[in-house]
């Protein structure tokens, strides 16, 4: 049985690199499968709204290009990484949103790559569901689509909807699809051939905590500045609310609305960013770094670091230590 895989090409928005890489891995898996005496499994297309939106042909010897309205019964629609014109999705991208929804109603599964999550989110298909995107675009996705549970996983799978994170984590999506349409040994073989970390589960080690200060709430900005100045001290939510002349309940609500984090969650992330930089740039012992981040229990610090970053402190240091 052949499976129809469709790469949607939103005009003027698409990052071709993500399509090239995923289609190449899937085609390699199919060739490998046939090389073992088995029947071809995949039929892949580029779906365009305007036939003049031609792909760079030298990269696509195996993909046919079709008007998206001529494509019937796809098994999987893959939304590629998009350029940063995310808000245009709500306007000029309406045709793609409607088409995706219609195909999903007809049984198609949907996968988004990196910032393709913005187009997927516009369909409403991931409302109240986990949705991964590039860590640098996570706050904007959360602001534009507050019903979506934005996360920093490399890959999410829920009811036939698949999302993946930023950078080259679409390679993990490609391996996931290889295992889905072929088998586990073929996915492992592809992982070895393309040197992909098949076990990677989170992009948190790559996330740079920028402080989320573009929200425009002056009270919350003052709170963020206070946290930065007192990061090594115990910070009481009640005392901080009093310092800012706000009720605790009102302050908590404003803080979550502005940053997408609870106050204590924000403090923990800020502390872990300090710890990450120290591990990257200094030879300080973990116990010393712990103290500068407001912790006095090394076990609690290690557990908090692993929860936020996805690695233990020493593992993070071994991977990201900057040698001069």
CATH of the domain at 144: 3.40.50.880
Same-domain status, 62 and 192 = yes
Q: What is the pLDDT of residues 138-163, one digit of tens each?
A: 989 999 999 999 987 778 888 889 99
Q: How confident is the model at residue 33 (pLDDT cuts 50, 70, 90)?
A: very high
Q: Who wins on pLDDT, 164 or 85? A: 164
Same-domain status, 183 and 47 = yes
Same-domain status, 165 and 225 = no
Query: Does position 167 have pLDDT exceeding 80, yes or no?
Result: no
Q: How confident is the model at residue 58 (pLDDT cuts 50, 70, 90)?
A: very low
Q: Who wins on pLDDT, 260 or 266? A: 266
Query: Does position 309 have pLDDT exceeding 90, yes or no?
Result: no
Pairing of strands 64-67, 76-79: unpaired
In a domain, 46, yes or no: yes
Same-domain status, 238 and 193 = no
Q: Who wins on pLDDT, 30 or 260? A: 30
pLDDT at 200 (0 to 100): 61
Query: Does position 53 have pLDDT exceeding 80, yes or no?
Result: no
Q: Are 260 and 209 in contact (CB under 8 A)?
A: no
Q: Which of these three, 204, 237, 258, is where a domain ends?
A: 204
Mean pLDDT of 93-115: 94
Long-range residue pairs from 56-60, CB within 8 A, at least 24 positions apart, any chain: 56/16, 59/16, 59/20, 60/20, 60/23
Query: Does position 80 have pLDDT exceeding 50, yes or no?
Result: yes
Mean pLDDT of 234-263: 89
Q: How many domains does the chain have?
A: 2
User: In CATH, what number is assigned to the domain containing residue 228?
Assistant: 1.10.10.60
Same-domain status, 243 and 191 = no
CA distance 170 to 185: 19
pLDDT at 271 (0 to 100): 93
In a domain, 171, yes or no: yes
Mean pLDDT of 257-280: 89
- Of 30-34, 93-97, 203-207, give the lowest mean pLDDT range: 203-207
Q: Are 175 and 190 in contact (CB under 8 A)?
A: yes
Mean pLDDT of 51-56: 59
pLDDT at 322 (0 to 100): 53
pLDDT at 62 (0 to 100): 58
Q: What is the pLDDT of residues 172-223, one digit of tens each?
A: 889 889 988 998 888 888 888 888 876 666 666 656 566 667 778 899 989 9
Mean pLDDT of 235-240: 90
Q: Which of these three, 177, 204, 231, is where a domain ends?
A: 204
Q: How confident is the model at residue 71 (pLDDT cuts 50, 70, 90)?
A: very high
Q: How confident is the model at residue 105 (pLDDT cuts 50, 70, 90)?
A: very high
180 phi, psi to nearest 5 deg = -65, -45
Q: How confident is the model at residue 42 (pLDDT cuts 50, 70, 90)?
A: very high
pLDDT at 323 (0 to 100): 46
Its pTM stands at 0.67
Q: For residue 310, give its domain range.
A: 218-320
Query: Does position 95 have pLDDT exceeding 60, yes or no?
Result: yes
Residues 6+ positions from 323 with CB-CB distance below 8 Å: none
CA distance 294 to 271: 7
Same-domain status, 295 and 178 = no
């Amino acid at each position: 049985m052949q499976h129809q895989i469709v790469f949607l090409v939103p005009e003027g928005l698409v990052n071709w690199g993500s399509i090239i890489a995923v289609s190449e891995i899937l085609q390699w898996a199919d060739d490998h499968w046939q090389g073992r005496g088995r029947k071809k499994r995949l039929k892949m297309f580029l779906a365009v709204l305007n036939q003049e939106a031609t792909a760079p042909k030298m990269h696509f010897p195996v993909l046919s290009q079709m008007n998206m309205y001529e494509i019937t019964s796809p098994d999987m629609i893959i939304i590629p990484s998009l350029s940063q014109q995310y808000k245009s999705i709500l306007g000029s991208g309406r045709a793609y949103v409607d088409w995706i929804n219609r195909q999903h109603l007809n049984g198609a599964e949907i996968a988004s790559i990196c910032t393709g999550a913005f187009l997927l989110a516009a369909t409403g298909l991931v409302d109240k569901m986990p949705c991964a995107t590039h860590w640098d675009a996570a706050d904007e996705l959360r602001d534009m689509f507050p019903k979506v549970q934005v996360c920093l996983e490399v890959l999410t799978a829920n009811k036939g909807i698949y999302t993946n994170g930023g950078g080259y984590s679409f390679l993990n999506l490609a391996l996931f699809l290889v295992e889905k349409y072929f088998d586990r040994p073929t996915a492992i073989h592809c992982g070895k051939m393309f040197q992909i970390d098949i076990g990677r589960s989170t992009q948190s080690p790559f996330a740079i905590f920028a402080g989320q200060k573009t929200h425009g709430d002056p009270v919350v900005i003052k709170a963020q500045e206070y946290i930065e100045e007192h990061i090594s001290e115990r910070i009481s939510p009640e005392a901080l609310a009093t310092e800012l002349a706000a009720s605790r309940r009102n302050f908590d609500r404003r803080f979550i609305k502005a940053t997408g984090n609870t106050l204590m969650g924000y403090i923990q992330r800020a502390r872990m960013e300090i710890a990450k930089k120290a591990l990257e740039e200094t030879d300080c012992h973990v116990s010393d770094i712990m103290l500068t981040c407001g912790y006095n229990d090394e076990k609690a610090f290690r557990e908090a670091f692993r929860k936020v970053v996805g690695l233990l402190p020493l593992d993070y240091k071994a991977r990201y230590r900057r040698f001069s």
